[in-house]
Amino acid sequence: MHWFDEWALTLAVFVPLAGLAAVLAIPRAQEQAIKITALLTTLVTAGAGIGILIDFNYSHAGRLQFIVNKSWIPTISARYHMGLDGISLPLLLLSMLMTVACVVYSWNHFPEPHNPKAFLALILLLEIGMNGTFVAQDLILFFVFFEVVLLPMFFMIGVWGGPNRQYAAIKFFLFTLFGSALMLVSFLAIFFLSKHQTFQIPQLATLGGAGIARGTQVLVFGGLFLGFAIKVPMFPFHTWLPDAHTEAPTVGSVLLAAILLKLGAYGFIRIALPILPEAARVWAPWIGLLAVIGIIYGALCCLAQSDMKRLIAFSSVSHMGFVMLGIATLTSFGLNAAIFGMVAHGLITGMLFFLAGSVQERYGTREMSRLGGLLNQAPKLGWVLGFCAMASLGLPGLAGFWGEFPSILSSYSPAKLAQGLLNGDPLLTFRIFMVIAAIGTVLAAGYLLMMYQRVAFGSPTAEFERAHIHDINIPEWVAWVPILLLIVALGIYPNLVFHMTNQAVTNVSKVFGG
The SS3 assignment for 307 reads strand
Helix (H, G, I), strand (E, B) or coil at 28: coil
- If residue 314 lies in a helix (H) or strand (E), which one and from where to where? helix 308-328
Count of beta carbons in the 10 Å neighbourhood of residue 59: 8
- Compute the least distance from the CB of residue 281 to another protein, in Å: 19
Closer of 298 and 346 to another protein (Cβ): 298
Amino acid 479 reads A
Other C-beta atoms lying within 10 Å of the C-beta of residue 260: 27
Q: With respect to another protein, which residue has the nearer C-beta, 108 or 459?
A: 459
DSSP category for residue 30: -
Cβ atoms < 10 Å from Cβ of 314: 23
CB of 114 to another protein, least distance (A): 31
Q: Are 56 and 83 in contact (CB under 8 A)?
A: no
At residue 82, the 3 state secondary structure works out as strand
Nearer to another protein, 304 or 489 (CB): 304
Q: Which is nearer to another protein, 4 or 412 (CB)?
A: 412
CB-nearer residue toward another protein: 44 or 144: 144
Q: What gap in Å lies between CA 225 and CA 286, rounded to an integer?
A: 11
**Cβ contact 451:304 at 8 Å:** no
Closest distance to another protein from the beta carbon of 443 (Å): 8
Least separation in angstroms between CB 119 and another protein? 28
CA distance 223 to 180: 9
Tell me whether residue 127 or residue 243 sits nearer to another protein (CB atom).
Answer: 243
Shortest distance, CB of residue 396 to another protein, whole angstroms?
A: 4
Tell the smallest beta-carbon distance from residue 304 to another protein (Å): 4
Taking the CB of residue 470, how many other CB atoms lie within 10 A of it? 10
Nearest to 139 by CA among 177, 180, 176: 180
Closest CA to 157 of 109, 122, 117, 105: 122
| Buried/exposed 148-160: b ≥16 CB within 10 Å, e otherwise | bbbebbbbbbbbb
In 3D space, the residue among 120, 130, 119 whose CA is nearest the CA of residue 97 turns out to be 130
Which residues are bridge partners to 82 per DSSP? 68, 136
132 vs 514 by CB, closer to another protein: 514
Enumerate binding residues for another protein (CB under 8 A).
75-77, 171, 174-175, 192, 197, 236, 238-240, 242, 297, 300-305, 332-333, 336, 373, 375-376, 390, 395-397, 401-402, 405-406, 408-409, 412-413, 434-435, 438-439, 441-443, 445-446, 449-450, 453, 456-459, 493-495, 498-499, 502, 506, 509
Q: Choose between 10 and 461: whose C-beta lies nearer to another protein.
A: 461
Q: How far is the CB of 57 from another protein (least distance, A)?
A: 17
Kindly tell me the burial class for residue 57, based on how many C-beta atoms sit within 10 Å of its own C-beta (0-12, 13-18, 19 or more): exposed
Residue 222 C-beta: closest distance to another protein, Å = 18
User: How near is the Cβ of 83 to another protein at its closest, in Å?
Assistant: 23
CB of 438 to another protein, least distance (A): 5
Specify whether the CB–CB gap between 309 and 494 falls below 8 A: no
Nearer to another protein, 142 or 498 (CB): 498
Q: How far apart are CA 389 and CA 394, in angstroms?
A: 9
- Comparison of 248 and 408: residue with beta carbon closer to another protein: 408
- The Cα–Cα gap between 275 and 137 comes to 12
Smallest separation (angstroms) from another protein to the CB of 170: 8
Between 370 and 499, CB nearer to another protein: 499
